[in-house]
Structure 1
């Protein structure tokens, strides 16, 4: 991905749920043509909190 600029548009912390990845996967599959990418990670300090990030590529 050399030369690809990725811009963070928004980050939000939400309560973790086992099914959150399904939403992120659906968003990534549906909106990749619009140069949007979505990320999900566990908060490093609180495993009950997920960090959801929206990127523009």
Structure 2
């Protein structure tokens, strides 16, 4: 099993309590198209989040 995950795009955005809902619906809706979405808090600025799109 050779699973390679490639980062397609990354953007820093203003953090919001509901951002995880967007990432969740994108992952549920587009998983058959071999894309995955991630969300992490920015270590340098707690008011920012890092949104990443991956190809699986």
- What is the TM-score normalised by the length of structure 2? 0.97
Question: Post-superposition, which runs of at least 4 consecutive aligned residues in structure 1 deviate over 3 A?
Answer: none
- What is the TM-score normalised by the length of structure 1? 0.95
- 1:33 equivalent in structure 2: 32
CA distance in 2: counterparts of 1:10 and 1:54, whole angstroms: 5
Q: Which blocks of at least 5 consecutive residues in structure 2 are unaligned? A: none
What aligned pairs does 1:8-27 form with structure 2 within 5 A after superposition?
8-27=7-26
CA distance in 2: counterparts of 1:47 and 1:39, whole angstroms: 17
- Give me the CA root mean square deviation: 0.9
CA distance in 2: counterparts of 1:41 and 1:11, whole angstroms: 11
Q: Which blocks of at least 5 consecutive residues in structure 1 are unaligned? A: none
